[in-house]
Amino acid sequence: MNGNEKKTRGRPRGTGAQSIYVGLREDILQLRLKPGEHIEESILKDRFNLSRTPVREALIRLASEGLVNLHPNKGAHVSAIDISDIPQYFEALDVCQRMVLKLCAERCYDDQLKLLRRINEDFIAATDLRNIVKMGETNNEFHSVMIDACRNKYVGALYGKLLSTGLRLSLSAFGTGVSNSYYDDNYYSEVVNQHKEMITAISNKDIEMAEEVARKHTKLFHERFMASINKDPKTSINLVKTF
């Protein structure tokens, strides 16, 4: 056995790229890497102690999700969110979220329903602490359960992409600190109530209720986001980066 064979056996194939993907994706979604920011492949190689190949594999996967742009001769950059695309984003979210909730009401398994209840309790705990980052994480986790629960891989894939964009939008507009000035008790109380309504609709297999609460949920997020943009126009500047 030569040295290369030993190295291959030391790490299952693909796990290197997966670790980079998970770490980099979290950095992007939590805005530790800003829209438009250059991603240095050499830094990733050193950070994860891996070769160029798994780094490229991870970047290509992130690009397929719309989180990274790959440009010849310019390398990789965190994808920007063009403020002019926001109306189309919320239009897509409205259509997709209603479809996802409808399918969940028809197809959700009991264990997935229990998971939704548990994650919503975690979200409530985060709101009690006014921890915006934890709230964003648990809210995203709550909705991500529905990606599997709707049991349609094409609808679920689109919903997952919209959720990733939504997490970046919310942290850009609402802030990333704890107990920051953007916190709105009424807004987050309504989010909790609507999550509970989603769980009730899914539990009762009430398709009409599921679609209606999905519509209200998108509307609530849209209105809150636009209010934050109007309050602090710098948010739109932070979302749109060119290079």
Residue 74, pLDDT score: 83
- pLDDT greater at residue 117 or residue 2: 117
What tokens does 191 get?
């989010």
Q: How does residue 132 score in pLDDT terms, banded at 50, 70 and 90?
A: confident
For 96, 113, 143, 233, the CA distances from 103, given in Å and listed in that order, are 11, 13, 13, 37
- pLDDT greater at residue 28 or residue 183: 28
- Can you tell me the mean pLDDT for 193-215? 98
Which class is 83-235 in CATH?
mainly alpha
| DSSP characters over the chain | --HHHHHHHHS-TTHHHHHHHHHHHHHHHTTSS-TT-EE-HHHHHHHHT--HHHHHHHHHHHHHTTSEEEETTTEEEEPP--GGGHHHHHHHHHHHHHHHHHHHHHH--HHHHHHHHHHHHHHHHHHHHTBHHHHHHHHHHHHHHHHHHTT-HHHHHHHHHHHHHHHHHHHHHH-SSBS-TT--HHHHHHHHHHHHHHHHHHHTT-HHHHHHHHHHHHHHHHHHHHHHHHH-THHHHHH----
For 2, 13, 158, the CA distances from 6, given in Å and listed in that order, are 7, 13, 40
Q: How does residue 238 score in pLDDT terms, banded at 50, 70 and 90?
A: low
pLDDT at 14 over 80: no
Q: Parse the chain into domains and list their residue ranges.
A: 3-78, 83-235
Q: 50 phi and psi, to 5 degrees?
A: -135, 165
- Can you tell me the mean pLDDT for 141-145? 97
Distance of CA 79 to the CA centre of its chain: 14
pLDDT at 39 over 60: yes
Does CATH number 3.90.1720.10 belong to domain 3-78?
Answer: no
pLDDT at 62 over 70: yes
Residue 156, pLDDT score: 97
What tokens does 31 get?
């805005």
Q: How does residue 7 score in pLDDT terms, banded at 50, 70 and 90?
A: very low
Q: Please, which residues have CB within 8 angstroms of residue 12's CB and are 6 or more apart in sequence?
A: none
Angle between helices 52-64 and 41-48 (to 10 degrees): 110
pLDDT at 94 over 70: yes
pTM: 0.80
What tokens does 13 get?
């194939």
- Can you tell me the mean pLDDT for 64-79? 89
pLDDT at 4 over 90: no
Residue 233, pLDDT score: 59
Residue 15, pLDDT score: 76
Average per-residue pLDDT for the chain: 86
Q: Is 141 exposed, middle or buried (0-12, 13-18, 19+ CB in 10 A)?
A: middle
